Chain A
Amino acid sequence: MSDSIKNVEEISGVVVITTSGYFNNIAGDAVLEVFNQKMEEGKINFLIDMEDSKVVNSIGVSILIEVIEKLQTVDGKLAFTNLAGIVEKTFNIMGLTKYCEVYDSVDSGVDNLS
């Protein structure tokens, strides 16, 4: 597993991806790789836990737009949890939060996605 991915697990049918460190292009690509693999397995609901990623850049976040795009083709959902304030603000400016819910906790995210 990439250093940018701390953990991947499935809870009640939701794939929970926990990232680690600076969410740059490397981290974005790592999430995309996990996402592609799980989507091939038929998973369509994803929750990204960014508690350990307090700093992002727009290149990494742009890769998440690819994820949203792919999920739209299968009526899937992407959501986020444990976002730092500036990360949520960045997602708002870039428009991700028009397409993805943000939850306060993993449990809350899983409850709403499953």
Chain B
Amino acid sequence: MNKQNPVVELKLPVIPDIELSATKTAEVISKHMNLSEEKTGEISMAIIESCINAFEHSKTKEIFIHFIVSADKLTIKVKDQGVGFDKSKVEIPNIENKLNSDERKRGWGLQLVSALMDTVEYDSDETGTTVTMTKKREDNE
């Protein structure tokens, strides 16, 4: 492990609630980085949603999560080897549209990740998807 930029890697099989093991890891890393409780919660929620998206939609058998610690931010990569998706075709959910309609109530993952993290990028094709998201470390953290 590089002491300057520690990297933590997880490989998660598709089993119920396994995403919680990634949030436990995120909590340890956030504590190591002195990130606030608020940011730790946001990171954990973004990881949960990224894992669920991969498990539910990609048909992957496992996902890989990389936590990359640097001086000014935490970078998290959630990778699957599934079927990929076209982000431009994902509708932005709205609760008003979901209430009193036949529209399915689900489909919030991308919006939550986007709202909770500082940056989010999706790299997706038919061989898989990588979500790269960052949370900045403030000067006082």
Q: Which residues of A contact B (CB under 8 A)?
A: 22, 24, 55-59, 61-63, 65-66, 68-69, 72, 84-86, 89-90, 93-96, 98-99
Contact = CB atoms under 8 A, between A and B. Distances in A.
B20 interface: yes
Nearest to B23: A55
Contacts of B48: 55, 57
13 contacts: A55-B23, A56-B45, A58-B112, A62-B105, A65-B105, A69-B100, A72-B99, A89-B42, A90-B112, A94-B108, A95-B96, A98-B95, A99-B99
A57 B111 contact: no
Given A86-B44, A89-B42, A99-B95, A58 B116 contact: no
B115 interface: yes
Contacts of A56: 45
Contacts of B17: 22, 24
Interface of B: 17, 19-20, 23, 37-38, 41-42, 44-45, 48-49, 52, 93-96, 98-100, 105-109, 111-112, 115-116
A2 to B, nearest CB: 15
B7 to A, nearest CB: 25
A94 B49 CA distance: 13
B51 to A, nearest CB: 9
A43 to B, nearest CB: 20
Nearest to B106: A62
B116 A89 contact: yes
Contact of B105 (A24, A66, A72): A66
A59 B38 contact: no
